[in-house]
A and B are shown apart, each in its own frame.
Chain A
Amino acid sequence: MDSVVGSSGGVAGDGAVSPPVAGRPRLGESAVERWARALIVLCALVLLAATLEIVIDAAVGHSPLIPKQPQIAGWLSGVGVRLGYRTFLIALLAFTGAYAVMLGLVGRISKRWAIVLIGALQLIVFVGPILISTDVFSYIAYARMGVEHAINPYTHGPIAIKHDAVYQYVGHDWKHVATAYGPLYTLLSYPLAPLGLKGAVWGMKLMALLASAGTLALTWRCAKIREIDPVAAVFAVGANPLWVIYGLGGAHNDLIMTLLMMAAVSFAFAGRDIPAGASVVAGALVKATAAALLPFMVLYRRGLGPILGALAALALGALIGYAVFGIHGIDVVAALNRDAAFVSTDSFPTELAHLVGKPGVFPIDHDLLKGALVLIVGYLMWRTWRGYDWVAASGWTLLAISVTSTWLLPWYTLWGLPLAVIARDRRLFAATLVIQGLFIAHQISPLLVPVA
């Protein structure tokens, strides 16, 4: 059995340089080493226990946190109790605390233990029900509209198939809303439509799991190329509470977008500019936000490769999108504009509005936020032109998009996370964790009132 505590720095087995680890070799290990090892084991157990608690309680059925859904994890349902805010928040906070401690000790965690732990966390979530969000049922509804009912999901909302089995599970606010996702994602979801509702849910969960695993594999590869500890990089992403509980738990397509973004970064690191540019556009054809990488990649490479790759992928995507969905299938800007007008209570602009005594954000605030975002992106482009790390600039942009968005959802804070862990500017990773920490802190008010 592999040791939890890795070797004391130096070159790891796969050739990567791991950070030096304080302490002596294992034979003469100090009390500090033993305590560190015990703490790592304890934190790993907390991560597993918190995830199990959430999944087992979620399997009991519908609650304010668990959307109505077909019974896909019935075999787990006899163990827990219905998931309430208190249990969920305590588990989430315990998970977050253990993750933070383990991040501090990650240099002492061996490669095998890190992979086993991350794999276990992701598999536990995979076998459970859909957590927190109804989005996956919107994805399935759009797929079934196109495949089973010959209705264009870019021109109609799920209300158009209200007799379909999936309709009852679509979130109330999205029943009249046409899809905002790119044509590549919609086409990827089409093969799941004929599998029936449960089959489609499992298909979506599998896609999310594979996308997560692929993102982690590419993060590992990119970290090694940049001589960053790959274990630390992969742990920071794969054991992240928002990644595991919200991203993977909700089977969000944001994970497919991050996979394609990391493929783009990996290609760029390998000097393959054309596939790099094409991968960015492929990511944007899943979710438009991925396009944020392209200007920084182009500015850094200063060649035609990324542009040619992007144009080729865009032309192909537009052609297929237009052929299958018509003009609405390629009108990404309209969908972005529509979603940009939404307001969520968790968004930072809403919190700032409350801070200055306003009840919420107003139309003028949207314009100010867009202006701020343009300034930030402009500054980052100028910095990249002057030699700043383009990966970090892309990560800052994705973080700025989520912070300035009036419609912030937890999985939006995941967009830049894989970039942050491989960026040369470590401030990006710290800032990403701070934003995620503030998001989690914003959820805790139900814990602070007396039990009714």
Chain B
Amino acid sequence: MSRGRLIETTLLILAGVLLAIATVNDVVEQTHVNHRLIADLHTWRVYTGHDYKNVSTEQDLYGHTTRDVVCGNTTPGPPKERIQLCLQMTGPVIDGRRAARGGWYLPPKSEDEPAARYGCFGSATPARYCGKDAASATENPEAGTSPETSPEAGQ
């Protein structure tokens, strides 16, 4: 094998190893997140006593914390068409559940924006999370999206 080809092959192997490590890291990370989100949904259902299918979760992608917000209807109906109860989930998964430390309510047909929230309770202090003051103080402290647009599929 010539020296140039040896260098090329070495670089290719190193690049392959790096990509493999990145892939495995992503899979492990995603598995943990999935595990956590399943526990979040389970906790919301246990806490509210409603076994609803359409319960949504949002992660704190900007803050890099594992604090998730889980929202679902308080009475049966289509998604977001009834008053919604949102719970802040924190801490480790124990017995398939996480701790619900606080939360708030949302009116029907509302997205989870600080200005729409009311009835904040527990660790979700009104000044930080609920109402217009919270909306002006911060732009949605919990929910986040990836830094750039991520269309779902195609092209």
Interface residue from B23, B30, B144, B152 paired with A438 (Cβ < 8 Å):
B23
Nearest-CB residue, chain B, relative to A366: B148
CA distance A363 to B144 in the complex (A): 18
Check A452 against B150 for contact (C-beta < 8 Å).
Answer: no
B13 to chain A, nearest CB (A): 10
Interface residue from B19, B34, B150 paired with A342 (Cβ < 8 Å):
B150
B26 in the interface (beta carbon within 8 A): yes
Q: Name the B residues within 8 Å of A341 (CB-CB).
A: 148-149
CA distance A350 to B148 in the complex (A): 11
In the complex, chain A residues 342-363 whose Cβ is within 8 Å of any chain B Cβ: 342-345, 348, 350-352, 354-355, 359-363
B64 in the interface (beta carbon within 8 A): yes
Q: Name the B residues within 8 Å of A138 (CB-CB).
A: 154-155
Interface string of A23-39 (1 = CB under 8 A from B): 00000000000000000
Check A343 against B23 for contact (C-beta < 8 Å).
Answer: no
Nearest-CB residue, chain B, relative to A447: B31
Check B22 against A445 for contact (C-beta < 8 Å).
Answer: no
Chain A residues touching B, range? 35 or more
B27 to chain A, nearest CB (A): 5
In the complex, chain B residues 116-155 whose Cβ is within 8 Å of any chain A Cβ: 144, 146-155
CA distance A431 to B22 in the complex (A): 16
Q: Name the B residues within 8 Å of A406 (CB-CB).
A: 148
Q: Name the B residues within 8 Å of A427 (CB-CB).
A: 8-9, 12
Quick one: given A362-B148, A445-B34, A448-B31, are A351 and B154 in contact (CB under 8 Å)?
A: no
Q: Name the A residues within 8 Å of B23 (CB-CB).
A: 351, 438, 441-442
A378 to chain B, nearest CB (A): 14
Q: Name the B residues within 8 Å of A354 (CB-CB).
A: 22, 25-26, 29
B82 in the interface (beta carbon within 8 A): no
Quick one: given A359-B64, A441-B27, A450-B35, are A133 and B19 in contact (CB under 8 Å)?
A: no
Interface residue from B22, B29, B148, B153 paired with A171 (Cβ < 8 Å):
B153
Interface string of B9-28 (1 = CB under 8 A from A): 10010001011111111110
Interface string of B91-127 (1 = CB under 8 A from A): 0000000000000000000000000000000000000
User: Which of B42, B144, B154: most chain A CB closer than 10 A?
Assistant: B154
CA distance A449 to B28 in the complex (A): 10
Quick one: given A171-B154, A180-B155, are A438 and B20 in contact (CB under 8 Å)?
A: yes
Quick one: given A351-B19, A450-B35, are A343 and B154 in contact (CB under 8 Å)?
A: no
In the complex, chain A residues 120-164 whose Cβ is within 8 Å of any chain B Cβ: 132-135, 138
Q: Name the A residues within 8 Å of B155 (CB-CB).
A: 135, 138, 174, 177, 180, 339, 407, 409
CA distance A200 to B144 in the complex (A): 39
Check A452 against B62 for contact (C-beta < 8 Å).
Answer: no
B98 to chain A, nearest CB (A): 14
B38 in the interface (beta carbon within 8 A): yes
Quick one: given A360-B146, A438-B23, A441-B27, are A342 and B35 in contact (CB under 8 Å)?
A: no
CA distance A409 to B16 in the complex (A): 19
A335 to chain B, nearest CB (A): 10
User: Which of B27, B34, B41, B149: most chain A CB closer than 10 A?
Assistant: B27
CA distance A345 to B34 in the complex (A): 15
Check A450 against B38 for contact (C-beta < 8 Å).
Answer: yes
Quick one: given A171-B154, A345-B150, are A355 and B25 in contact (CB under 8 Å)?
A: yes
15 additional contacts (CB under 8 A) given A339-B155, A354-B26? A134-B153, A135-B153, A171-B152, A171-B154, A174-B155, A343-B146, A343-B148, A355-B26, A362-B147, A438-B23, A442-B27, A445-B30, A448-B34, A452-B38, A452-B41
Show the binding face of B for A, using Cβ within 8 Å. 8-9, 12, 16, 18-27, 29-31, 34-35, 38, 41-42, 61-62, 64, 144, 146-155
Show the binding face of A for B, using Cβ within 8 Å. 67, 132-135, 138, 171-174, 177, 180, 339, 341-345, 348, 350-352, 354-355, 359-363, 403, 406-407, 409, 427, 431, 434-435, 438, 441-442, 444-446, 448-450, 452
8 sampled A-B residue pairs with Cβ under 8 A:
A173-B151, A355-B22, A355-B25, A355-B26, A403-B19, A441-B27, A442-B26, A446-B34
